[in-house]
Each structure stands twice: as C-alpha cells, then as structure tokens.
Amino acid sequence: MIKQLVMATNNANKLREAREILSPLGIEVLSQREAGANCDPEENGATFAENALIKARAVYEAVKLPTVADDSGLCVAALDGRPGVYSARYAPEGQHCAKLLDEMKDVPTDKRGAAFVCSIAFIDENGENYGVSGRCSGSIGYEQRGTNGFGYDPVFMVGEKSMAELTADEKNAISHRGAALRELYKYLKERYGE
C-alpha cells in the first residue's frame, strides 16, 4: 500500500472530504502545499476528466509522489449543461449562486434538473494514470438556503434540502466528489491491498 498521496489542491473542504474517505486505507493525504508543489496549471481541458489529469500531472511532475486531482462542476439541463467545466469561472467569486438563480428565474420547476459531476485522476508512483468519476443528481432551487456548503451548494436541491443544509456526513454520502472518492477508495484497496 502506498503511504502518502498528494491531492492537487489547497482547498480545505476538498482535503477534509478526501481524508475522511481515504483514511481507512492508512494513506496520508497531503495538500499540494504540504507536499511542496507550488503549481497552478491552466485548466484548459474540454472535460472534467481532462482538467483533473492536467492538475494531477502538474503536481506529480513537481513532487514525484502518487497524486490525485479532481475537477468538478455543476451541469444544468435547462442551460445545455452549463456552467459545466466553467463552473468556477462562471461568475465573480461569491456571485455564482446569484447569477445562476437570475439565469434560471423563468425556468419552471420540472425543467430545473441539474447534476454535480466530479472526475478524479490518480497518478501512481510510476506516473501511470487512472480515472474515476461520480455524480449527484438534483435540481436548482429558487433561493439560497443553508450555510454548510460552498460553491453552488446553497441552490442545489436534493429532495427538500439544499446541499448546504446537509451535515458533512449526509453530504459525503451523496456528493459527486464523495462518490468519485469512494470509487478511488475501491480501486486503491483492490490494487494495493492490505
């Protein structure tokens, strides 16, 4: 079993989620800062999987340790899948939900379907890559609700609650990143075994 892997992020929320899901394997998950990787590659891929691999490859090349990177975003059916790979760049910081609600203001309830999608790229100790993905289906609400999430969580509805109204455990159980990380967990467990 590998003892450490680097997650190509410094985002505390993503790190916490990865650490919670992968910790039973006995793998220490380091942020790229903790590993000494000071890189911010341009995410110019056409898909979440391409962007995840771009990030993973850049950090792997910097530290030569097994690396995992994710790229994720929100795909809204009524917006032809937008914001998609541009989710982080869809609006100025802190204005993503407001812009989305404004763009969706005339969309009826039955046409507000959406999904969070996450692709994860894992680069092993030999520089070979493996990809997994996960998704969480829901809909876009009519207002921002809850304080437990980040990004689009306050407007992404799963049943009667927004993602930002769920506890961390509830969110991990259904989230797109949680689903992808559980796939990665299965792969690592199978490949490296105890």
Which residue in this structure is represented by tokens 């994720």?
72
Which residue in this structure is represented by tokens 């769920």?
166
Torsion of CA 189, 191, 192, 194, to 10 degrees: 50
- Count CB neighbours of 9 within 10 A: 18
Q: Could you say which of 70, 71, 106, 110 is catalytic?
A: 71
Q: 9, 69 in Cβ contact below 8 A?
A: yes
Whether 71 is catalytic is yes
What is the C-alpha to C-alpha distance for residues 146 and 151, in angstroms, rounded to an integer?
12
Positions marked active-site: 71
